[in-house]
Amino acid sequence: MKKDISFHIFKHIVLIVLSLACVMPFLLMIIASFTENSEIAVRGYSFFPENVTFFAYQYIFERASMIFRAYGITILITIVGTACGLLISMLLAYPISRKDMPFRNVFTFFVFFTMLFNGGLVPTYLIYTQWFGIKNEIFALIIPNLLMSSVNVLLLRTYFANNIPEAVIESASMDGAGELMIFMRIVIPLSKPIVATVGLLIGIAYWNDWYNGMVYITDESLFSLQNYLARVSQDIQFMIKSSNANYGEIANLPSETVRMAIAVLGSMPIILAFPLFQKYFIKGIALGAVKG
C-alpha cells in the first residue's frame, strides 16, 4: 500500500515537472514581450523583470490596419483550408480503408510514396504560378497545403479500418443506403475523435504557415499574420543593420521585445483553441495511429 502511494506521489511529481517544462517557455515568452529591450540585452530573459513596458505591442499596433487585415486573411485561409483539406483527406482515406475497394493497394501506395518523395521547390513553383496562376492570389495560401498531408490520410484510414464496424456498413448497404449516405450518416458521426484531431492538425498547419506566403505572395495586402509579423521583424533588423539609419531612433527599437510580442500574437490563438480539442486529439491519435 505504501509503495503504491509512493509511486503515485512520484508519478505526480514527474508529471508536474514535465508540465512546467512545457508551460514555462510560453510564460517566459509572454513576460519577455512586456520587458524593456535594454533590460533583456543586459540581464537576459527573466521571469521577474524590473521594468515593464507595452512599447513592443504599441510598435506593432501602430500598424493596426495591416495587422487586422492579416488576422482576417489568416482566419479565412485557416477555416477554408481546414474544411477543404479535411474533406479531401476523408474522401481519400475512407475508400482505401475498405477491403472491397478495387485497386485499394495501388492508391495506398501513392499515398505512402508522397511521404518519401515530392516534386521539389522549382517544379512546384512553376506549376502553381504558370499553370494554376495563383501568384499573388489568396488561393496561393490555400491550395499548396490542400494537396495534401499523407500522415493525415493514413491516420484517417487506420481509424476507419479499425473502428468502423463492417457489420454496420453492410447493414446500411442492405437497407439501400448508398456509399455517400453511409459516409455522411455513419462514418463521419462515428469518427468524431479522428476528424477533430486531423482538423486540428490541418488548422494549425494553415495558421502557422509562412512558407507559401514567402514563395507566392509579394503583395503586402495579401500577407497572412505570420508573413506580416515576419516582415515587421525583418524591417527592424534591416533598420538596425543599415549604415545610413538614424542611430538615435534605432536605439529605441525594441528588437528582442518585438520578437517575443510577435510570437505571442502568432501562437496565442492556437494555444487558447487547443484545450477545446484536447480530448478528441488524444483519443484520435491513440486510435488512429496505434491500431493496425
CATH of the domain at 167: 1.10.3720.10
Tell which wins on pLDDT, 281 or 135. 135
Confirm whether 55 is domain-assigned: no
Confirm whether 241 is domain-assigned: yes
Confirm whether 176 is domain-assigned: yes
Contacts 24+ apart (CB under 8 A), 26-33: 26/267, 26/271, 29/260, 29/263, 29/264, 30/260, 30/264, 32/256, 32/257, 32/260, 33/57, 33/257, 33/260, 33/261, 33/263, 33/264
Tell which wins on pLDDT, 271 or 24. 24
Which whole number is the average pLDDT over 19-31?
84
Q: Percent of the chain scored above 70 by pLDDT?
A: 84
Q: Identify the top-confidence range among 8-22, 51-65, 240-254.
A: 8-22
Which whole number is the average pLDDT over 19-46?
80
User: Residue 148: is the preceding peptide bond cis (ω within 30°)?
Assistant: yes
Which whole number is the average pLDDT over 131-153?
82
Q: Is residue 48 pLDDT above 70, yes or no?
A: yes
Cβ proximity of 35 and 46 under 8 Å: yes
- Residue 80: the pLDDT is 92
The 10s digit of each residue's pLDDT in 140-150 is: 888 888 766 78
pLDDT band at 289 (very low <50, low <70, confident <90, very high): very low
Range of the domain at 101: 60-289
The 10s digit of each residue's pLDDT in 233-278 is: 776 666 666 655 454 455 455 567 777 887 787 777 777 777 776 6
* Range from 2-11, 147-156, 223-232 carrying the lowest mean pLDDT: 2-11
CA distances for 226 relative to 69, 77, 83, 214, angstroms:
12, 12, 20, 10
Confirm whether 31 is domain-assigned: no
The 10s digit of each residue's pLDDT in 199-221 is: 888 888 888 888 888 888 888 78
The 10s digit of each residue's pLDDT in 79-128 is: 999 999 888 888 888 888 888 778 878 888 887 777 777 777 777 888 88
Confirm whether 36 is domain-assigned: no
Mean pLDDT across the chain, nearest whole number?
Answer: 78
Confirm whether 149 is domain-assigned: yes
Count up the domains in the chain and report the number. 1
pTM to 2 decimals? 0.75
Confirm whether 221 is domain-assigned: yes
Which is nearest to 148 in space by CA: 121, 115, 125?
115
CA 286 centroid distance within chain: 19
Cross-strand bridge partners of residue 52: 35
* Range from 72-76, 151-155, 161-165, 248-252 carrying the lowest mean pLDDT: 248-252
Confirm whether 189 is domain-assigned: yes
Which whole number is the average pLDDT over 28-47?
78
Q: Is residue 189 pLDDT above 70, yes or no?
A: yes
Q: Is residue 186 pLDDT above 60, yes or no?
A: yes
- Residue 279: the pLDDT is 64
Q: Is residue 8 pLDDT above 60, yes or no?
A: yes
